[in-house]
A = this chain, B = another copy of it.
């Protein structure tokens, strides 16, 4: 792991729609592949929104395993916490541009503007729903978990019937609570079932989306 330091370009303040329709003042920052965005137990300084690239948040467990809690792609906001400390680590999966806004300023604005307060709540509730969907995957066998993961990614990343996954197999495995071998075998099975096609390891063809959805429900 060659941990790259956050590549802080000149922080040019700018306005950006942050949550929903709320514009917020912040700046764009660039991160290299595998660069750390924030670490567990670190003070929460910013809220983030992905402009380009992709981000993973994760927790390192005592047994050394890594549990990836979420992937974020362009348009997604993340890093919102009510408490002062980060409970997760955040890393750039690939070279990424993020929009940052100061936490304290944003929370202060929420105290004055009930629309912003409502969006903070709504966003956290959406995150809650996402985690509940995530936990649902753990109640399924391996192939169904992988199918569910692909459906989720397809919804968020696919224009036509193809997905370009930003993450490697190890990331998928740590997200689904499986090993890379099992993820790989499950993908091969889905290909044998003609539900997907594997053009390249990260380039997935959605041959039978309906079948994927059926497996993942």
Say yes or no for A3: interface residue by CB 8 A criterion: no
Residues of B within 8 A of A87 (CB): 129, 132
Residues of B within 8 A of A2 (CB): none
Number of A residues with CB within 8 Å of any CB on chain B = 37
Chain B's closest residue to A214 (CB) is B62
Say yes or no for A1: interface residue by CB 8 A criterion: no
Docked-complex contact B114 and A112, CB < 8 angstroms: yes
A62 in complex: contacting residue of B124, B126, B217, CB < 8 Å:
B217
Docked-complex contact A81 and B125, CB < 8 angstroms: yes
A177 in complex: contacting residue of B88, B114, B118, B139, CB < 8 Å:
B139
Q: Which of A143-159 contact B (CB under 8 A)?
A: none
Residues of B within 8 A of A140 (CB): 61, 63
Docked-complex contact B82 and A121, CB < 8 angstroms: yes
Docked-complex contact B122 and A131, CB < 8 angstroms: no
| A177 shortest CB reach to chain B, Å | 5
A61 in complex: contacting residue of B83, B124, B136, CB < 8 Å:
B136
Chain B's closest residue to A80 (CB) is B125
> Could you tell me the distance between the alpha carbons of A63 and B136 in the complex, rounded to whole angstroms?
12
Residues of B within 8 A of A120 (CB): 121
- With A87-B132, A111-B118, A114-B117 known as contacts, the answer to whether A177 contacts B67 (CB < 8 A) is no
Docked-complex contact A132 and B131, CB < 8 angstroms: yes
Docked-complex contact B177 and A138, CB < 8 angstroms: yes
| A45 shortest CB reach to chain B, Å | 17
Docked-complex contact B131 and A124, CB < 8 angstroms: no
Can you pick out 21 interface pairs between chain A and chain B where the beta carbons lie within 8 Å of each other?
A59-B136, A61-B139, A61-B140, A61-B217, A62-B217, A63-B140, A67-B135, A67-B136, A67-B139, A82-B121, A82-B126, A111-B114, A111-B118, A121-B124, A124-B125, A127-B128, A128-B131, A131-B132, A131-B135, A135-B135, A138-B138
**Closest A-B pairs by Cβ, 3 of them:** A117-B117, A82-B125, A138-B138
